């Protein structure tokens, strides 16, 4: 039986073996494992790629959200509007800073609905945090207009969307801060945890640099209480290798998505269409069907790995009990949580793999 794995880290390593091993050799030879100067090379290349003034490398996407929001002053008494269908870190970071997450439901494409955001505004609203889920950017034009009109900060959770575009502009160039992840499952992936914030604001960038390094302004002087959230030099060197390949990774994932669209054109599944003003990088490729659980099992029985991003909406998690939500509060998100299935979309799929996945879906759904 054919095996179509959801991810294929082994194949990724084979493609880049000599460069990765060269990076390991260099880092161990210099002995610089933690070094702002060494990581700055990656930060500059990344800032140039995204088209921002600053990229600040951190040790996870979650820390990018935490330190980024701390640096812009999000704290107790502030409300931050965000969707309930993200990875849990978007909401957790708001709560951990003592602020209040206020959820706004999403649209067909799984991204936050600007009308729902408008309806969720209160005098305490301090920021809007759209999440560019699946590799497709949220509808930034109306969101930026709302933010401008009401004097709110925009925080992009771009963890899933490095390289994505909206009206020709990259993810990470809209928000006051934008937060990215380099987790192994993301399109620009480290060999472990990693993340970064992008911003055009010098003061915010400096603040995050302080916070990630114990608040130290020199070896012995602590200017503010900080933490340790630096990116390791090994990870930044791996990411420099992979940043050079990112456009190729994205192109291959987009080609796979286009193949699926054709292969599944007559299948009874919903796939949100691509709109002409967006460039989707397909961190995940999601189909929607009422028979999701059975289909997932059928695919697993036939060697096809799939995933669900995410089966339990954040407002229905045990940790969210204190927020006082119940089933029915965000019906679009809840319905999608029961219907979404992420197909393998990794850059190593062959056309035969994809045809096999599509055939299995079509025979099963009839
Ligand atoms: C992955 C992810 C995060 C968290 O990133 P980590 O690097 O795992 O901490 C935050 N938000 C979204 C939408 C994500 O997909």
Clarify whether residues 16 and 151 are in a common domain. Answer: yes
Same domain, 162 and 229: yes
Residue 4 falls inside a structural domain: no
**Given this model, what pLDDT does residue 221 score?**
97
If asked whether residues 19 and 112 sit together in one domain, one would say: yes
**pLDDT digit string (tens) for the chain, length 366 residues:** 999 999 999 999 999 999 999 999 999 999 999 999 999 999 999 999 999 999 999 999 999 999 999 999 999 999 999 999 999 999 999 999 999 999 999 999 999 999 999 999 999 999 999 999 999 999 999 999 999 999 999 999 999 999 999 999 999 999 999 999 999 999 999 999 999 999 999 999 999 999 999 999 999 999 999 999 999 999 999 999 999 999 999 999 999 999 999 999 999 999 999 999 999 999 999 999 999 999 999 999 999 999 999 999 999 999 999 999 999 999 999 999 999 999 999 999 999 999 999 999 999 998
Q: Which domain holds residue 161?
A: 9-240
Among the listed residues 253, 333, 342, the one whose alpha carbon sits nearest the alpha carbon of residue 292: 342
Give residue 265's pLDDT. 97
Looking at 222, 240, 258, the residue that finishes a domain is: 240
Question: How would you classify residue 136: left for phi > 0, otherwise alpha for psi between -120 and 50, otherwise beta?
Answer: beta
- What is the full DSSP assignment across 129-187? --B-GGG----HHHHHHHHHHHT-EEEEE-TT-TT-EETTEETTSSSSEEEEE--TTSS
- The answer to the question of residue 15 being in a domain is yes
So what's the pLDDT on residue 330? 98
Cα separation, 109 vs 264, whole angstroms: 17
Residue 196 lies in a domain: yes
DSSP per-residue codes, 331-345:
HHHHHHHHHEEEEP-
From 90, 136, 192, mutation site for ligand 1 pocket: most ligand atoms within 8 A of C-beta: 90
- What's the confidence (pLDDT) of residue 343? 98
For atom 2 of ligand 1, the residue with the nearest CA is 159
Total tally of structural domains belonging to the chain:
2
CATH of residue 204:
3.40.640.10
Kindly state whether residues 228 and 314 are assigned to the same domain.
no
Residue 341: CATH number of its domain: 3.90.1150.10
Residue 98 falls in which region: left (phi positive, over 0), alpha (psi -120 to 50) or beta: left
CA of 52 to the centre of ligand 1 (A): 21
Any ligand 1 atom below 6 A from CB of 62 = yes
Same domain, 204 and 260: no
Alpha carbon distance 175, 157 (integer Å): 9
CB of 68 within 6 A of ligand 1: the answer is: no
3-state DSSP assignment of residue 270 = strand
Pairing of strands 340-343, 285-288: antiparallel
Mutate to test the pocket of ligand 1, among 89, 129, 177, 197 (most ligand atoms within 8 A of CB): 89
Could you tell me the pTM of the whole model? 0.97
**1 is a domain residue:** no
pLDDT at position 291: 98
Same domain, 151 and 297: no
Rounded Cα gap, residues 96 and 34, in angstroms: 27
| Bond before 310 cis per omega within 30 degrees | yes
- Gap between the Cα atoms of 224 and 217, Å rounded: 9
If asked whether residues 227 and 310 sit together in one domain, one would say no
> 């759904």: which residue's tokens?
365
**Interatomic CA distance for residues 147 and 206, integer angstroms:** 24
Boundary (domain end) residue, out of 193, 210, 240: 240
Same domain, 228 and 265: no
User: Looking at the domain assignment, is residue 31 inside a domain?
Assistant: yes
Residue 350's alpha-carbon distances to 4, 91, 300, 323, 344, in angstroms, are 9, 36, 18, 45, 11
Residue 366 has a pLDDT of: 87
Ligand 1 centroid vs 61 CA: distance in angstroms? 5
162 Cβ inside 6 Å of ligand 1: no
Q: Show Cβ contacts of residue 130 under 8 Å, excluding neighbours closer than 6 positions.
A: 82, 83, 111, 112, 138, 140, 143, 154, 156, 157
């Amino acid at each position: 039986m054919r095996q179509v794995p959801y991810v294929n880290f082994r194949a990724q390593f084979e493609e880049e073996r000599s460069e990765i091993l060269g990076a390991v050799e260099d880092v161990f030879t210099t002995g610089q494992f933690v070094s702002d100067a060494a990581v700055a090379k990656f930060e500059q290349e990344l800032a140039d790629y995204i088209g921002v003034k600053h990229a600040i490398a951190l040790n996870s996407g979650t820390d990018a959200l935490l330190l980024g929001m701390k640096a812009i002053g999000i704290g107790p008494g502030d409300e931050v509007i965000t969707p309930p269908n993200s990875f849990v870190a978007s909401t957790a970071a708001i709560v951990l800073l003592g602020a209040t997450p206020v959820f706004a439901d999403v649209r067909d494409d799984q991204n936050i609905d600007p009308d729902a955001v408008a309806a969720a505004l209160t005098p305490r609203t301090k920021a809007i945090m759209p999440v560019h889920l699946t590799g497709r950017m949220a509808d930034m034009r109306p969101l930026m207009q709302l933010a401008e009109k009401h004097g709110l900060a925009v925080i992009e959770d771009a963890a899933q969307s490095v390289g994505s575009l909206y009206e020709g502009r990259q993810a990470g160039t809209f928000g006051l801060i934008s937060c990215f992840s380099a987790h192994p499952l993301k399109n620009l992936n480290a060999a472990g945890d990693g993340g970064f914030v992008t911003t055009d604001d010098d003061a915010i960038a400096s603040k995050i640099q302080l916070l990630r390094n114990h608040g130290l302004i020199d070896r012995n002087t602590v200017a503010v209480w900080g933490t340790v959230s630096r990116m390791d030099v090994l990870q930044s060197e791996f990411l420099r290798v992979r940043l050079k390949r990112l456009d190729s990774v994205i192109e291959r994932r987009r080609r796979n998505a286009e193949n699926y669209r054709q292969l599944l054109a007559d299948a009874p599944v919903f796939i949100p269409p691509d709109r002409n003003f967006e460039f989707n990088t397909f961190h995940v490729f999601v189909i929607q069907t009422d028979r999701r659980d059975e289909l997932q099992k059928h695919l697993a029985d036939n060697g096809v790995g799939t995933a669900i991003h995410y089966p339990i909406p954040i407002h229905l998690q045990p940790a969210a009990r204190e927020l006082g939500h119940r089933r029915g509060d965000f019906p679009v998100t809840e319905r999608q949580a029961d219907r979404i299935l992420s197909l393998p979309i990794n850059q190593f799929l062959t056309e035969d793999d994809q045809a096999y996945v599509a055939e299995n879906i079509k025979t099963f759904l009839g």
